[in-house]
Every structure is written in C-alpha cells, then in structure tokens.
A and B are shown apart, each in its own frame.
Chain A
C-alpha cells in the first residue's frame, strides 16, 4: 500500500510539473488538464458516474453501504488480468472492463478493492457474496448459470495451442498424436482436448505459468487454453513461444454476478451495448499488442 501511495504521489508531481511547463510554453490549455491530474491512464476513456441509482439491486446496495466495490479478478494472465508482483499494480483487458463497470456505478479507481480468485473458487465467491462481481476470463456456460448470473458476453475467444517458437509439427489440435499437452487441473480445455482429440499424454498443473515453464524446458510439447490467455504469454516472450493454428472452440467471456440480480445485469449489458468506442480502446491498449484480433460481441 505504502509503495503505491508513494508512486501515486510521484505521478501526481510529474503531472503537476507537466501542467506547469505547458503553461510556461504558452501552448493552448489542455481541456482535461485540471481534471486529468491524479487520474490514471484509462481515466480518459470514461468518466465516473455520479448519482447512480439502481432500484432493486442487492449487490449495488451492498456497494453503496460499504462505500467501495469488491471485484474478483485473476492475477496471472498477462494482457487480461495481471498483477505485477513487484509494484502490486494490476493491468489488462479484464481489469479495464472491471474498472469501466465500477465507474458506471459511481466508483472511482480508489474505491475498488480487487480480490484474486482462482478459477475453481469463482462461483463460491459470488454465491457467498465475497465479491460484487467477477471479471476474469469467465466463460458463460449453462452449468455455471445454475449458480450465478452472467452479464455480457464482452469478449469472444476460442481454445488454442501454444507451442515453442521453433516447433513446426503442431499446427492444430489434429497434430497432437504422441505429443504431451499441458493445461490447468480439471479445466474445460483439458477435458475437451482429452475427449475430442487424442494427445499422446496430458499434464496438469495449478497455473498456466507452470505449464509455460515446462514448455520452455521441453518437458511438454504444447499448452492449451483460450487463445486470449495464450496470446498474453506470447507477448511476454515472443522469442520462445508462438500460437499454433486457429482456435477450435468458442468461449464467451461474461461478468459473473450474484444470481437473480437482473437489475445489475441489465445495467452492465446496457453499458456494453452503449459504450461506444470504449471497448475498442481497451482492446487496442491491452490485447492488440499480443497479436490477436477481436471485435466487440453483442450482449445476450
């Protein structure tokens, strides 16, 4: 906390210094100059709403009572939901979406509390009310809808394969005979690759980072999960890794919400539908550098 505050102070000083020099040089006043001081980079994409009223949304009532919003996210997916271990700073497309929703509900970035929640515990965290909503590569499935509700989808991707950059024999899921494929324990991509394609063998760990480590060591041949997640690892280390072939499934990412909170669900869906170019800006900022294409999907 302390380091972020100091970093914030330094950033504030830097902005102030810039504003001063701008005045000195006599250049035209920056329209958002004053409001911009202290705002984060993404702050320019939207404004924090004021006087928000959501009649009949228990989640929103909890947020206002608490004075802050608690969002469940991932912390180990570069480009999507990532936490820098050294600075504690969170970044990525999902984080941007989460902040955008919070702003539309009247909560600025200083009123957001992130909670890192691994895939296996997501439904439980929402059902228990530990978090207000969850944004983190959360595929919309019928089975999950039995326990929680989804807003969105806000992103569509598909299962892909990550291989070593010098690998030429794997170009799609049909080339996996005799190869060793790594993914996260019990995950849907792992189950699908086992059931529908026949890899030589599968390896499962708690996180994709551990798979990446084994891939770089040559102990496994490929890693499989959603292409958007894989792209983040390629962006981190383009010399060693590459994506092989085209996506072979459709995953629709939604925002996980408490079951029955249709008011909040409708609010977020409206935000996605009427968001203008905010979505594209977030995509260009976070995912375009990873080398994948994307267009905003229509909500359900």
Chain B
C-alpha cells in the first residue's frame, strides 16, 4: 500500500495524463475515423482512394513508429520547441491518427449492416450523399458496432502507455519514476495493472449501458 500512499501526487498526475491522452486521442479518432469510414463508401473515387491509402498505411505501421515520427521527425521539420503542451499535442495526434484507422474500419463494417434499401430510399427522397450518411446510415451503423467500437477504445486506453517513452507523463511512466526511488517495480506494475483493469471495467460498463439503450431490434 506504501507505493500508493507515499506517492499519491505522482499517481494522480500520471492517472490524469492517461485520461487526457485517452479522451484527447479518442475524440480525434472518433471524428477522423467517422470521416474516413464515410469516405471509404463514398461514390467519389478520389475520396475512396484517400480513405484506402490512409487506412492501409497508418494501420500497418506499428504505433511506436507513428510516435517516433511525431516526436522526432515532426519537431525539427516544423521548427517546434518541445514544451509540455507541444509534446502532449503530438502524442494525442499520434494516438488519434493511429486509432482513427480502426474506428474507420469498424464504422465501415457497421455501414455494411444497414440494409441497402435504407440508403436507396433516402436517395429517392432527394437527399445528398452527406445527408444520407449523417441522417440515415451512420446513426444506424453506430448502433450496431458498439461492442467492436468499445474494443477499439479499450485498445486505445492501453496504447496510451506508449506515450511514456515520448515525454508525456502517464501511468506507463510511473515505473521509471518509482524504481529510480528504489521501490519494488513488480509491485508498482501490479498496481498499474489493477488501475487499467478498473478503467477497462468502466468502459465495459459503458458499453453494456449503451448497448441496452441503442440495441437494434431484429
């Protein structure tokens, strides 16, 4: 218990870091992913091409490499000075852009569950592609992909620890701080694990609540 009580401010700071990364990266991934998912089913060939290129290049790149590009290639290129805010923004961008590919594919699978007749009927009413998507297809698509979407976000939550190696304080960096102080890092890691299990349980609970509310009756 000493490793928690003696270092309460550190645990608070790192937990906050993880939560900020999760929500920042999650929001970016959701917006970008929905956009890319829609692009992949759009009737415009260029949009489809960009969507395919984006998903296939970023999704096939290891997350650590994406982080490396953001932490080491981008700052000299843009002449950035690495303040905490800049590092955090770079990390959130890396996480968001990486996770967006998974969100896009999940949404595309959801779009495929919406009966073709729905879109055809919407088009017959004179709606544009944007209107068909936002008013008819995507709302239904989201409802049918809640469990896989939540898996994507659980993966995102755990992926936040990668940012620890790139100058963003989060639960993944607490081990380095504690072992420098001579604490037993195995015990520290067990606590970090327990916190992640608790956070994931929260997400699972949110998933069940959303499922019960939005379930598509078939």
Interface size band for B: 20 to 34
Check if A146 is an interface residue, CB within 8 A of chain B: yes
Instruction: Write out the residue numbers on chain A whose beta carbons fall within 8 Å of the beta carbon of B80.
Output: 219
Instruction: Write out the residue numbers on chain B whose beta carbons fall within 8 Å of the beta carbon of A143.
Output: 181-182
Residues from 177 to 216 in A contacting B, C-beta threshold 8 Å: 180, 182, 184-188, 191, 200-206, 210, 213-214
Residue on A with the closest CB to B175?
Answer: A120
- Please determine whether A203 and B82 come into contact, CB atoms closer than 8 angstroms: yes
Instruction: Write out the residue numbers on chain B whose beta carbons fall within 8 Å of the beta carbon of A213.
Output: 72
Contact with B along A143-185 (1 / 0, CB 8 A): 1101100000000000000000000000000000000101011
- Please determine whether A120 and B182 come into contact, CB atoms closer than 8 angstroms: no
Check if A218 is an interface residue, CB within 8 A of chain B: yes
Check if A141 is an interface residue, CB within 8 A of chain B: yes
Instruction: Write out the residue numbers on chain A whose beta carbons fall within 8 Å of the beta carbon of B79.
Output: 218
Q: Pick the interface stretch among B24-32, B159-167, B206-214.
A: B159-167
In whole angstroms, how far apart are the Cα atoms of A188 and B165 in the complex?
17
In whole angstroms, how far apart are the Cα atoms of A213 and B81 in the complex?
13
In whole angstroms, how far apart are the Cα atoms of A102 and B102 in the complex?
53
Contact A218-B76, Cβ < 8 Å, known A120-B175, A185-B173, A186-B176: yes
The smallest C-beta distance from A128 to any residue of chain B, in angstroms, reads 10
Check if B93 is an interface residue, CB within 8 A of chain A: no
Contact A219-B176, Cβ < 8 Å, known A121-B185, A204-B167: no
Check if A119 is an interface residue, CB within 8 A of chain B: yes
Instruction: Write out the residue numbers on chain B whose beta carbons fall within 8 Å of the beta carbon of A205.
Output: 165-167
Check if B177 is an interface residue, CB within 8 A of chain A: yes
The smallest C-beta distance from B61 to any residue of chain A, in angstroms, reads 19
- Please determine whether B82 and A219 come into contact, CB atoms closer than 8 angstroms: yes
Task: Say what secondary structure dominates the interface of chain A.
Answer: mixed
Check if A124 is an interface residue, CB within 8 A of chain B: yes
Check if A123 is an interface residue, CB within 8 A of chain B: yes
Task: Say what secondary structure dominates the interface of chain B.
Answer: helix
Check if B179 is an interface residue, CB within 8 A of chain A: yes
- Please determine whether A120 and B167 come into contact, CB atoms closer than 8 angstroms: no
Neighbour of A124 across the interface among B76, B166, B185, CB < 8 A: B185
In whole angstroms, how far apart are the Cα atoms of A144 and B169 in the complex?
24
- Please determine whether A180 and B185 come into contact, CB atoms closer than 8 angstroms: no
- Please determine whether B182 and A186 come into contact, CB atoms closer than 8 angstroms: no
Residues from 160 to 218 in B contacting A, C-beta threshold 8 Å: 164-167, 169, 173-182, 184-186
Contact A219-B76, Cβ < 8 Å, known A121-B185, A185-B173: yes
Check if B147 is an interface residue, CB within 8 A of chain A: no
Residue on A with the closest CB to B83?
Answer: A201
Instruction: Write out the residue numbers on chain A whose beta carbons fall within 8 Å of the beta carbon of B75.
Output: 214, 217, 219
- Please determine whether B185 and A185 come into contact, CB atoms closer than 8 angstroms: no
Contact with B along A59-83 (1 / 0, CB 8 A): 0000000000000000000000000
Check if A220 is an interface residue, CB within 8 A of chain B: yes
Contact with B along A121-146 (1 / 0, CB 8 A): 10110000000000000000101101
Instruction: Write out the residue numbers on chain A whose beta carbons fall within 8 Å of the beta carbon of B174.
Output: 186
Check if B99 is an interface residue, CB within 8 A of chain A: no
Find the residue from B81, B84, B164 having the highest chain A CB count within 10 A.
B81
- Please determine whether A203 and B167 come into contact, CB atoms closer than 8 angstroms: yes
In whole angstroms, how far apart are the Cα atoms of A146 and B181 in the complex?
11
In whole angstroms, how far apart are the Cα atoms of A182 and B87 in the complex?
12
Instruction: Write out the residue numbers on chain A whose beta carbons fall within 8 Å of the beta carbon of B166.
Output: 205
Residue on B with the closest CB to A123?
Answer: B182
Contact A121-B179, Cβ < 8 Å, known A201-B84, A205-B167: yes
Instruction: Write out the residue numbers on chain A whose beta carbons fall within 8 Å of the beta carbon of B83.
Output: 180, 200-201
The smallest C-beta distance from B179 to any residue of chain A, in angstroms, reads 4
In whole angstroms, how far apart are the Cα atoms of A214 and B72 in the complex?
7
- Please determine whether B179 and A120 come into contact, CB atoms closer than 8 angstroms: yes
The smallest C-beta distance from B183 to any residue of chain A, in angstroms, reads 8
- Please determine whether A217 and B76 come into contact, CB atoms closer than 8 angstroms: yes
Instruction: Write out the residue numbers on chain B whose beta carbons fall within 8 Å of the beta carbon of A180.
Output: 81-83
Given contacts A185-B173, A191-B177, A201-B82, 15 further A-B contacts (CB under 8 A): A120-B180, A121-B185, A124-B185, A146-B182, A180-B82, A182-B82, A185-B167, A186-B179, A187-B176, A201-B84, A203-B82, A204-B173, A205-B166, A219-B80, A219-B81
* Listed A/B pairs (14) with beta-carbon separation below 8 Å: A119-B179, A120-B175, A121-B179, A121-B185, A147-B184, A180-B82, A186-B173, A187-B180, A200-B83, A205-B165, A214-B82, A217-B76, A219-B80, A220-B82
Query: Which 3 A-B residue pairs are closest in the complex by CB-CB distance?
Result: A186-B176, A186-B177, A143-B182
